[in-house]
Amino acid sequence: MQLESILQQRFGYSSFRSGQKEVIEQILNGKDVIALLPTGMGKSLCYQLPGYVLNKTVLVISPLLSLMQDQVDQMKLFGEKRVIALNSFLNKEEKNRVINGLEQYRFIFISPEMLAQRQVQQKLNRIELSLIVVDEAHCISQWGFDFRPDYLRIGEMFGTSRSPILALTATATNKVLEDIELYLNMKEPFKYIHSVDRPNIHLSKMSFSNREEKLEWLFQHVSNTAGPGIIYTQSRSKTHSISETLLQNGISAASYHGGMDLLDRQFIQQQFIEGTLDWIVATNAFGMGIHKQDVRQIIHESIPSNMANYMQEIGRAGRDGNDAVAILLYSEHDEELAKFVGIDDLPLEQHVDIFEEYQRNGQDATQMLKQGEISETAFRVLNYWMEQKTPNEVKTIFQNMKIEKMQKVEEVMKLITSDTCMRETLVHYFGQTLNDKPEQCCINCGLDLAQLLIAKEEKNLSSFSMTWQERITNLLTKKS
């Protein structure tokens, strides 16, 4: 077959992984495609290969600058020179130069915000695209409505006779799939839906009556069992306090959150990936685009704000296919903070009124921002919805968002309090059915955690002998 020979020649693989060929064939037939593929199943091949077959520019819309940078570096490493990330890392001159010569690139990575700029759109409309890719497409639904509204504008950016769109994601509920289809203006897309279940991730949970007991258990647990692992917590300050306590107890740990310096974040991430750092204590900022194979534990010190986040976060464990555990910790009233944080930054009814007032007087509504009446995020979100709907409709939309966010926390609470199989609950939440349960399924199915976890000393010994072997190998290769 022709596709196989391109796969062999260009990428050096002898066969496709499940889903890849179906997805690529549909793209080559000119169809829109939504592909739900687990991480590590070769999503990027699904657009790289068509890029070479169709021989025109591929546009990849990506949520994070660091993610774009990684992918560009990766492709350059494999010999592709005609690849660029069009984002704010470029200065004004560089940006203009790139935009003016846009057609010379085979792969262009871009953020939704940059894509929304008129200058960029005008240029893009004049060049021929073979394919439009939306990477991490669940962001449309996860971030579009109340955080990064430009995610909802992607569909508008391209005319009616546009190139096919490929939406890629690892976790999407039926509602998220609907949102993707709707906001990307897709026409009867082909859907490739892989199971979201990850049988080698074993699920557990524990409840405590107060925070101290919970933290005490956490510190005991991390002292006695081996990483590498990620501890997810609710606030930036908690990432620091927990990692400091771990450090004081001689455990290799560092904190990570969105308010930290970009270089610090990259440094910590790098150390974790290389294996010189055992534990990361993080907010939900940590994880997207982290390709670490051997994460053994995911511990939620605080309740995740919804099931989708929980699924994505535990999904960072066990990419190598070996056993990993996810432990969800809960102490009374934890859900209150999750609810508060979720709705805290949504625009209020009074903001809608003020915005309308400015508009009616023919004034620039951005004055709200300058006068500190509203946060930057809330203003951008408000601005989007005021373009789309009437003020009363906008008020209803925000009211419904609040209710929805609280309900989503309650759904996680059900996972915490219920006796039914955690894996089944999760898989059902994503609109799928669970065919096989692993032997060590979840705590409600009689999981033996101790058997799955490696004691800390054991791990240290093996890692010591590993580094010793590596040293010898290094010595030998240097001498020869």
Partner DNA sequence: CGTGATGCGCTTAAGCGCATCACGGTGCGTTAAT
HEC states along 399-445?
A: HHHHHHHHHHHHHHHHHHHCCCCHHHHHHHHCCCCCCCCCCCCEHHH
Among 57, 71, 111, 312, which residue interacts with DNA (rule: CB under 7 A)?
111
**In the complex, minimum distance from the CB of residue 324 to DNA, in angstroms, rounded to a whole number:** 23
Residues 175-214 that bind DNA (CB under 7 A): 211-212
CB 283 → DNA: shortest distance, Å? 3
x-or-dash string of contact with DNA, 13-32, rule CB under 7 A: --------------------
**464 lines the binding site for DNA (CB under 7 A):** no
Binding window for DNA (CB under 7 A); candidates: 21-29, 197-205, 223-231, 329-337: 329-337
Whole-angstrom Cα distance, residue 61 to residue 153?
12
Residue of 55, 220, 235, 469 that binds DNA (CB under 7 A): 235
Helix (H, G, I), strand (E, B) or coil at 202: strand
Among 13, 52, 143, 217, binds DNA (CB under 7 A): 143
Q: Which residue has the tokens 């930036």?
A: 236
List 232's β-bridge partners, or say none.
Answer: 282, 300
* Closer Cβ to DNA, 87 or 425, answer by number: 87
From CA 329, how far away is CA 237, in angstroms rounded? Answer: 18
Residue with tokens 């994070």: 64
Stretch that binds DNA, among 187-195, 232-240, 322-330, 438-446 (CB under 7 A): 232-240
Query: Should residue 459 be labelled a site residue for DNA when binding is judged by CB under 7 A?
Result: no
Q: Which is nearer to DNA, 8 or 235 (CB)?
A: 235
CB of 388 vs DNA, minimal distance in Å: 17
Calculate Rg over the CA atoms of the chain. Answer: 24
Laid out side by side, the sheet with 190-193 consists of 83-86, 107-110, 57-61, 129-134, 165-169, 33-36, 190-193
Closest CB to DNA among residues 252, 284:
284
Q: Decide if residue 341 touches DNA (CB under 7 A).
A: yes
DSSP label at residue 447:
-
Q: How many residues bind DNA (CB under 7 A)?
A: 43
253-292 positions binding DNA, by CB under 7 A: 257-259, 283-285
Q: Three-state DSSP class for 324?
A: strand
Q: Where are the beta strands (DSSP E) in 11-147?
A: 33-36, 57-61, 83-86, 107-110, 129-134
Binding test (CB under 7 A) with DNA, winner from 377, 424, 437, 438: 377
CB atoms within 10 A of CB 159: 8
Residue 289 region by backbone torsions, left for phi larger than 0, else alpha for psi between -120 and 50, else beta: left
The residues, any chain, with a CB within 8 Å of residue 40's CB and separated by 6 or more, are 291, 293, 319
Q: Work out how close the CB of 67 gets to DNA at its nearest, in angstroms, rounded to a whole number.
A: 7
User: Contact at 8 Å (CB) between 272 and 255?
Assistant: no
Residue 383 as a binder of DNA (CB under 7 A): the answer is no
Region binding DNA by CB under 7 A among candidate stretches 124-132, 140-148, 416-424, 429-437: 140-148
Nearest to 174 by CA among 414, 433, 435, 429: 429
Among 173, 305, 312, 440, binds DNA (CB under 7 A): 305
Q: Does 350 bind DNA (CB under 7 A)?
A: no
Q: Buried (b) or exposed (e) across 227-244, using 16+ Cβ within 10 A?
A: bbbbbbbbebebbbebbe
Closer residue to DNA in complex, CB, 99/434: 99
Identify residues 73-92 at the interface with DNA (CB under 7 A). Answer: 87-89
Of residues 43, 148, 191, 221, which one binds DNA by CB under 7 A? 148
Select from 113, 294, 373, 424 the one that contacts DNA (CB under 7 A): 113
Using CB under 7 A as the binding rule, whether residue 410 contacts DNA is answered as: no
Q: Per DSSP, what are the bridge partners of residue 206?
A: 329
71 binds DNA (CB under 7 A): no
Which one of residues 23, 24, 35, 114 is an interface residue with DNA (CB under 7 A)? 114
Asked if 169 touches DNA (CB under 7 A), the answer is: no
Q: Which residue's CB is nearer to DNA, number 169 or number 305?
A: 305
> Does 340 engage in binding with DNA (CB under 7 A)?
yes
Report phi then psi at 194, rounded to 5.
Answer: -90, 155
Q: Could you check whether the bond before residue 228 is cis, i.e. omega within 30 degrees of 0? A: yes
Q: Does the footprint of DNA cover residue 424 (CB under 7 A)?
A: no
**Residue 300 near DNA by CB under 7 A:** no
Residues that bind DNA (CB under 7 A): 63-66, 87-89, 111, 113-114, 117, 142-143, 146-148, 211-212, 234-237, 257-259, 283-285, 305, 309, 332-333, 336-337, 340-345, 376-377, 380
